[in-house]
Amino acid sequence: MAVLLATLEKRVNNILLASPRTNPWSASVIGSNNQPATQRYPTDEEIEQACLEGDARTCVAIIETEGHPQAPTFYTTSTVASGAAIPGHLGVTALVTVDGSPARYAASMDQMLEVIQNPTMYPVASKWAYIFGNILLHNGTTGVVTYPTFTMTAACQAPDGYESVDVCNAIALLAKDGAASDYYSYYANLAARQEAAIRGLELTIPDIEAIAA
Amino acid sequence: MSALTHEHLAIQVRQKLRLPPTATLDLQPLVPVALNQLAVQVAGDYKKRHWLLTDPSAITATLTSGVADLSALIASDNILIEMIRYGMVYYNAITGQPLIWQNQVGIGRMAGPYDQLFNHVWAQGTTLQVRGPNATALSGTLYLAIPFVASLDDLPEPLTDDLVNTLARLVVMPAANENAA
């Protein structure tokens, strides 16, 4: 389940003392309760947008961390012809299937092209693929790429275990000229540390085994 | 017969040599080369050569006035003309004595002992030439049990290890292997 935007807004409003005194645990700011529009945060929309942007930063950190256990939440698939570009996305592609089975990756683009152009020399070389930049090469009929992507919506998308990251991100994004910089720096620091923790989950690829002489 | 595919063979050699997974691709183009070298090695090995002889009931050549053209068989059945001497060539019936091999054209055409008993055969280019008793030019059918290059489909199972080793040798010492062949 994803972080709830309403809860996130309440947390942010509460921390920034931007909610009405009569209802401190509120998703609305003072300015939207017929209070003078001279407050630092006069509209709900500003808070809401910061919450969504903060949530997006959390999601992007998860997506860009290869092997992150929550990354599959953001996976989508596209059918891609050999030689065509994988649609724009964030992070790294997770899987390529060719004709319904996971593909094996060739060592280089040259090797993949050689296989494609000389099928008689590779009579049992089915379901091989190679990604050059964002171009997919494969020697099957249908290639399907699974990759992470992210589109901001009107709701938060980070898994709810990351609510505190969203809170810190949102507050860090709400810093304004004249505000107490150390206050926002504290949350910016906290957000950075939590983002580092997310990105620290990156799957470490083991060294390639040395070829026996 | 072996159930090996190009990929099975490539995987076996890759594992044997501890090569990376993409070597499964690299090795496949070398399989025909390995099969060719294996055929030459087997034909030269008296203990193994009978594994790779053509079926004389199926592989035949028409003999016309003492000459049989093998070019069609070379193309379609991968026979090794340089190794024919290690096989058997029968004239008109598989059950009889195989023809006596003569090492060169000159000796083949020369009258010799047992001319009345045995027909003689020798090669000239891609033809087989046969001499009957008293230099009679024979016509008929030659039945050939001669060395050939097997495909993976018709490679006898006992030779699969040899093929794996041949392919592995091609990878680790290609130059030495070329000389051996």
Q: What is the pLDDT of residue A39?
A: 65
Q: Is B80:B87 a contact under the CB 8 Å cutoff?
A: no
DSSP state of A120: T
Give the one of A106, A123, A208 whose C-beta lies nearest to B28's C-beta. A123
pLDDT value, residue B108: 82
Task: Characterise B78 by phi-psi region: left (phi > 0), alpha (psi -120 to 50), beta (else).
Answer: left
Interchain proximity B25–A122, CB inside 8 Å: yes
Chain A nearest C-alpha distance from B40 (Å): 21
User: A121–B19: do the CB atoms touch at under 8 Å?
Assistant: no
Q: How confident is the model at residue A208, as a pLDDT?
A: 58
The alpha carbon torsion through B29, B31, B32, B37 (nearest 10 deg) reads 130
Q: Do A211 and B18 touch (CB under 8 A)?
A: yes
| ipTM for the complex shown | 0.76
What does the alpha-carbon distance between residue A158 and residue A122 come to, in Å, rounded to a whole number? 45
pLDDT at A42: 72
Using CB atoms, which residue from B5, B6, B22 is nearest to A111? B22
Instruction: Tell me which of A6-10, A78-82, A175-179 is least confident.
Output: A175-179
Cβ-Cβ contacts under 8 Å, B29 against chain A: 118, 121-122
pLDDT at B43: 95
Strand partners, B93: none
Q: What is the pTM of this model?
A: 0.77
pLDDT at residue A182, as a whole number:
86
Distance in Å, alpha carbon of B24 to nearest chain A alpha carbon: 8
Mean pLDDT, to the nearest integer, of A146-173? 95
Among A105-109, A207-211, B157-161, which is the least confidently predicted range?
A207-211
- What's the confidence (pLDDT) of residue A191? 95
Phi, psi (rounded to 5 degrees) for B75 = -75, -40
Residues of A whose CB is below 8 A from B172: none
Tell me which range, A182-191, B107-116, B128-137, is most confidently predicted by mean pLDDT: A182-191
Q: Cα(B134)–Cα(B72) distance, rounded to whole angstroms?
A: 30
Residue in B5, B19, B25 nearest the CB of A111: B25
Q: Would you place residue B28 in the very low, low, confident or very high pLDDT band (cuts 50, 70, 90)?
A: very high
pLDDT at A205: 63
Asked which of A38-42, A66-70, A126-130, B134-138 is least confident by mean pLDDT, the reply is: A38-42
pLDDT confidence of residue A41: 76
Residue A106: which of A135, A127, A91, A78 has the closest Cα?
Answer: A127
- Taking only the tens place, the pLDDT of each residue in B48-100 is 999 999 999 999 999 999 999 999 999 999 999 999 999 999 999 998 889 98
pLDDT for res A175: 86
Contact B20 A128 (CB under 8 A): no
Say if CB B119 and CB B99 are below 8 A apart: yes
pLDDT for A47 beyond 60: yes
Residue A128 φ then ψ, to 5°: -110, 150
CB A41 within 8 A of CB A176: no
Residue B31, SS3 per DSSP: helix
Per-residue CA distances from A79 to A102, A147, A185 (Å): 13, 11, 44
- Residue among A111, A124, A208 whose CB faces B6 most closely: A124
Best residue of A122, A128, A130, A205 to probe chain B, by most B CBs closer than 10 Å: A122
Mutation pick from B28, B33, B152 vs chain A, by most beta carbons of A within 10 Å, is: B28
Closest CA to B72 of B162, B1, B142, B177: B142
Task: Mark yes or no for CB contact B25/A115 under 8 Å.
Answer: yes
Give the closest-approach CA distance of B57 to chain A in angstroms.
30
Share of chain A above pLDDT 70, in %: 91
pLDDT at A184 over 60: yes
Inter-chain touch B29–A115, beta carbons under 8 Å: no
Nearest residue on chain B to A115, judged by CA atoms?
Answer: B25
Q: Which residues of B touch A115 (CB under 8 A)?
A: 25
- Cβ contacts from A onto B, under 8 A: 43
Answer yes or no: is pLDDT of A32 > 70. Answer: no
Q: Which residue of B has its CA nearest to A207?
A: B20
> What are A209's two structure tokens?
């085994």
pLDDT value of position A179: 73
**Lowest-confidence region among A7-21, A23-37, A119-133, B9-23:** A23-37
| DSSP secondary structure of A24-41 | SS-SS-GGGGT--TTSSS
Q: Which of residues 27-56 of B touch A (CB under 8 A)?
A: 28-29
